[in-house]
């Protein structure tokens, strides 16, 4: 951790806060999908019933679950690395995978014509983009 008085401390703090937020967001979401697979699959099957994606819901759910778990795990590992070594490399890859996950979720919401849900992802995506940027500043 850089000294509190340095400008690098602000960058380090932003990196740590972004990594923390993304780790919580994606680990919780991914683990929920694992724990309640049947419930999520049932809901998503109905959600995509009138979309061109209706026939591929199970593989889509598996893919987004893996993406979210990987994004959350990399973000959590990135936070640990920031605290222990000061390196933001893992946090960068966690943020990058978080942004990719959000693009996938956004695509699904748009395909299901769930425009309000798609719009609700925008703040998360912007945070992920900020995280990608700030983790490259060190």
From the list 23, 7, 4, 17, the residue with the least C-alpha distance to 135 is 17
C-alpha span between 41 and 43 (Å, rounded):
6
The pLDDT of residue 65 is 97
CB-based contacts of 41, cutoff 8 Å, min separation 6: 57, 58, 61
C-alpha span between 22 and 99 (Å, rounded):
10
The pLDDT of residue 7 is 86
- pTM for this model (two decimals): 0.91
The pLDDT of residue 5 is 84
List the Cα angle 66/42/46 in 5-degree steps: 110
Cα 104 versus chain centre, distance: 10
Name the residue ranges covered by the structural domains of the chain: 7-134
Profile the chain (138 residues) by mean pLDDT over runs of 10 residues. 86 96 98 96 90 91 97 98 96 98 94 91 97 92
Cα distances (angstroms) measured from residue 49 to each of 1, 22, 61, 111: 50, 30, 14, 11
C-alpha span between 76 and 91 (Å, rounded):
8
The pLDDT of residue 6 is 85
The pLDDT of residue 137 is 87
One DSSP character per residue, 101-128 reads: HHHHHHHHHHHTT-HHHHHHTHHHHHHH
């Amino acid at each position: 951790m850089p000294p509190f008085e340095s400008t690098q401390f602000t960058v380090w703090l932003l990196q740590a806060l972004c990594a923390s937020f993304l780790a919580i967001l994606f680990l919780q979401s991914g683990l929920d999908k694992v724990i309640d697979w049947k419930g999520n699959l049932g809901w998503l099957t109905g959600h995509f019933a009138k979309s061109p994606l209706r026939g591929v819901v199970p593989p889509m759910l598996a893919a987004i679950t893996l993406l979210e778990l990987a994004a959350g795990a990399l973000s959590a590992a990135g936070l640990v690395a920031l605290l222990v070594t000061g390196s933001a490399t893992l946090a960068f890859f966690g943020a990058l995978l978080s942004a990719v996950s959000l693009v996938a979720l956004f695509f699904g919401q748009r395909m299901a014509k769930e425009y309000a849900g798609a719009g609700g992802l925008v703040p998360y995506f912007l945070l992920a983009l900020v995280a990608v940027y700030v983790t490259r500043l060190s």
